[in-house]
Structure 1
């Protein structure tokens, strides 16, 4: 059973801020990104490797650097402890599943290593859909 968005956001922020890999290498991990999960949308704002804020009810004009958009089923697959084929990362899912990557891809690439570690936290905290 999925957590509510508010609960999920707190679990995700706590897991990110406690993650030893992010803590060790993410000093300049500063960006904001939208996770569009269909029935839930959140904007995660990172500042120097720490979660600054998670906007759990973004408005259409709220700013972010890049976005990942996929169906709730895709997000549930990402959040499995051992994801199935083509759900193990954003690139595989963007080539073979319904994940769309939009926005300032340069910012994503500049933060890719840290973002990937943070994204994989979904396997621990789940997805709110």
Structure 2
């Protein structure tokens, strides 16, 4: 995905592939072995409700889902995701927390599961980077 093609639809397509990418990364699932949570992740306008059990994504449903709760939400602009997923992101676009500092992403809700498993979420949400290199 290039910056010019950075749209909610393109980002949603990449997000939809993350569970399959995670299934091919058993070390990352093991890293999240103590993680059970409901969260909202993705583009600002069209995030996904994601259920994680013992480090594996067991459900991923496009939002909004009526009466479905979440512990925390991490949402970013399509441009931020396109930059973050570059094989070698530029400084300031390379890290989830850097994106929030740039005001290109928001992190809200109960931050405890996110911060406790920060490296897991950084690696999980960076999976499309490696996938882009495999297909190139």
What's the TM-score once normalised by structure 1's chain length? 0.80
User: Where does residue 75 of structure 2 map in the other structure?
Assistant: 69
Q: 1:5 and 1:108 mapped to 2: Cα distance?
A: 21
TM-aligned CA deviation for residue 85 of structure 1 = 1.5
Aligned Cα RMSD in Å?
2.4
User: Where does residue 102 of structure 1 map in the other structure?
Assistant: 108
Please, which runs of 5 or more residues in structure 2 have no aligned partner?
2-8
Please, which runs of 5 or more residues in structure 1 have no aligned partner?
none
After the TM superposition, which parts of structure 1 deviate over 6 Å for at least 4 consecutive aligned residues? none
* Count of residues in Structure 1 that have an aligned counterpart in Structure 2: 125
TM-aligned CA deviation for residue 82 of structure 1 = 1.7
What's the TM-score once normalised by structure 2's chain length? 0.77
Describe the SS at the equivalent of 1:59: coil
Alignment of 1:1-129 (within 5 A): 3=10, 5=12, 8-9=15-16, 11-59=17-65, 61-125=67-131
Is the 1:6–1:56 Cα contact (8 Å) retained in structure 2? no
Is the 2:11–2:81 Cα contact (8 Å) retained in structure 1? no
